[in-house]
Every structure is written in structure tokens, then in C-alpha cells.
Amino acid sequence: MQTAPPPAVVATAPAVLVVTASHDNWRYTLGERASFTVRVTRDGRDIPGVPVIVTSGPERLTPTRVDTIVSAAGGTRVDAGSLARPGFLRLTAVANVDGGRLNEMVTVGYDVDRIDASVALPADFLPFWRNAVAVARRTPLAPQLTLRDDLSTPAVNVYHVSFQNHREGSRIYGMLSVPKAPGKYPAMLVVPGAGVRPYFPDTRTAARGVVHLTIGIHGIPVDRDSLLYNELRATALSGYWAFGIEDRDKYYYKRVIVGAVRAGDFLMSLPQVDSARYVVRGGSQGGMLAMATAVLDPRVKAVAVAHPAMGDHFGYRQGRAGGWPHIFSDTARMQAKTEISATLPYYDTDNFARLLTVPGFYTWGYNDITVPPTTSYAVYNLITAPKELFIAKETGHTVNAEQNTKAMTFLLQHLGVR
């Protein structure tokens, strides 16, 4: 007796939620209504009859509209309204299909080149920071370098390094990659985004003829097991971005910003470094640090910045999104915090942007929910130095391959590296 073969299993493609703005570039003028088409598809074919919850309003603020629509052949049109002043309007769509939850987002900009800063420049901003750097430099670097043979390559030596920062015993740690061949090389500093984690060397960039340094900010080694950083993130360093925020001299980021400048001191102390060719790169928290370093260290020749955090803190007080870490997002609770209001202008990326003089490459996406594009434009619009902007509008708080390639190309060109 012959057994019949089992029935063939037909693979089913997953359902997809698609939101399309009426303008391909996601840009609108004030007062113009933004419309979107919402579709649920499988294999490119519409799935009609699926309920979709649609929410719209200014980014990161209370939604102005919440609706439930039903998907239809050809898509369902949604009118999300408009904005009366420069900024961003965000539409999110959520649907449950095949037991799974689908999410999609589109964020459109209104007269984004006219987004103004929400913070003023303190009269003593530069004296405050120049004094902080001068005081820190009274402490010797006392550098320590440990060769990591396991991370080195035939062309590049890798070191776990540290150097003193703003006082005796306070150290900055990082991963240093140095070409092995004798000679003088340009230098690149990478300052980190927010978080507590290990860091890794960039031997590929070093192999092209660049001394490359990536630093952490927390005064702890950066080459340990991830378990250590997970524990610190959940305990001693939880919420570090608010430590000491009531006093501009005790705020956590004072030693961090000064430490980024001293990272340049450390690099310039290396015999392999050509001090005339030095650039800095960073994203998010690192975007602020890169811009601050370029303002406070005249040796920096160019910067590359992605979605700069810590900018336009006071946007929430003006009824729009403010920058990470969203100190004033709860305006009712924070309005009375006069000490915080006095501290933050000295740490707002807006004010470093005003004082930049070196060329810069800037990039971000419109769907960023961590660093709102409203705040990135508030920062960017203040810059009078030569600047290039590349928008990858669909991206969130990430950097895609094209953004990364363009940033590195920009920096390497300014270093004279091919």
C-alpha cells in the first residue's frame, strides 16, 4: 500500500502596514494640510477590512487626533491636519494582523528651515567653558596604554587607554587604533551616544592611515564584559544625564565635555599624530559632544554629527518638542526648577552650534523619536560655519549605511585621506 505524500506547505508572506505621505519629500508649508494613505498589504496586494488605529499631531506632544479606520483596496486616505508654525507633524498607524502587531510612522516637516532656537546664549558661556578646560589642564594626563594583541591586526595596533580628566584620579577610557607603519598620521576622535556599554576599536579606519580613538564618558574601563555595563546601567549610572543638574559646576556633563577636549590633548601627545589634521565625530549625545569639542578645541578641523541630542531643551516650554533627554517634557513639574533652567543653557547644543567655526556634516531622520527632528533643525539652523546636511527621512534614531559612508567620506576628505 502506497502512502500518499503530505500536502505541500504554502508559504504565506507576512502582512505589511504601509503609510505614504502626499508629498514624497515629507515637506509642507505652514497651513497646508498633510494627507496620508494607509494600506495593509501582503505580497503587494491590499488586505481590505483591517481596523487600523491612526494617531497624529506634533511630534512627542499629546496627539491632536486619534481615529480608527478600515483598510481598503487602494488604501485609505487620512487627513492629519496642519501646523501653524514651523515644526514636525507625526502620524502613527497600528494594526493587528495574523496575531501580530504592525506599526508604521511618517513624520512630515513644516517650514523646517525656519525653526528657531528656544534658548539664549549666556553672556559668560565661552568664559565658563574656557575656564573649565584651563582648570582641567592643571591635572596631568598621566596616560596609560595597554596593548591588546587580540584586537590588533597586521597593520594596526590596538590599545585600551585611559588618561586623567579634570582632577586627580578622574579618568577617561577608550580604545585607540594606531597604524603600525612609522610616520605621522591624522587623528579622528569618536565621542559616544548615550548609554553604558563597552567600546570597540576601528582598525579599518586606522588601516587607511588614521589614528582613531573612541572614548567612553563614565570613567570606567570600556573593554569589560557586557554584564558589568548592564549592572551599572541599572544601578549607579541609571539616569546619569540628570546627575547634578541643579548646578552648572556639578552637572555630570561638565567633566564629560572637558574630557572630550582632553581626549584631543591625549591624541596630540602621541608621536604618531599630525596635530594639524584632527576631526571629531559623534551621534546623539555624541553629536553634542562633537560640536562642543569643536568649539572648545581650536585644533579640530571638521565635525560629523548625527541627530544631535541635548539641543533646544526649552522647546517644550514653547509648546513643541524639546531635545533628549527631554528634561522639560513634564513642564508642569519642571517649570519651578529654576536651578535647572539656569544650568541647561551652558549645556544646550544650540549654544555650541552658534559658536561653531569649522566645517561640518550633519545627518538625521524624520522618524527619530529620541532626538526629535524639530530639535535637530533648531540646532542646525543656528550654524553659520560651512555645513552640509543629508536627510534620510525614513530613519529613526539610527544611522544607515549611506549616512555612515557620507559622514566618513566628509571627514576623511578633511584629513586628506583617500
Query: Cα–Cα distances in Å, from 299 out to 14, 35, 172, 248, 253?
Result: 53, 48, 19, 26, 21
Of 202, 297, 350, 368, which residue is the catalytic one?
368
CB-CB neighbours of 224 under 10 Å: 13
Gap between the terminal Cα atoms of the chain: 72
DSSP 8-class letter at 241: G
Catalytic status, residue 265:
no
Of 204, 184, 200, nearest to 270 (Cα)?
A: 184
Q: Are strands 302-306 and 273-283 parallel, antiparallel or unpaired?
A: parallel
Q: Are strands 87-97 and 51-58 parallel, antiparallel or unpaired?
A: antiparallel
Q: Is residue 135 within 8 Å of 157, Cβ to Cβ?
A: no
Q: Is residue 235 within 8 Å of 228, Cβ to Cβ?
A: no
Q: Is residue 288 within 8 Å of 294, Cβ to Cβ?
A: no
Within a 13 Å sphere around the CA of 39, how many CA atoms are in the beta-carbon half? 14
Of 212, 307, 397, 414, which residue is the catalytic one?
397
Catalytic status, residue 397:
yes
Task: Give strand pairing partners of 145.
Answer: 161
Of 152, 284, 326, 348, which residue is the catalytic one?
284
Which residue bears the cell 502626499? Answer: 22
Of 415, 403, 189, nearest to 289 (Cα)?
A: 189
Catalytic status, residue 414:
no
Cell numbers standing for residue 213? 580613538
Cell numbers standing for residue 343? 544650568
Query: Cα–Cα distances in Å, from 154 out to 151, 158, 186, 188, 192?
Result: 10, 11, 20, 20, 27
Query: Cα–Cα distances in Å, from 345 out to 168, 205, 259, 310, 320?
Result: 28, 35, 19, 10, 18
Q: Which positions are catalytic?
A: 284, 368, 397
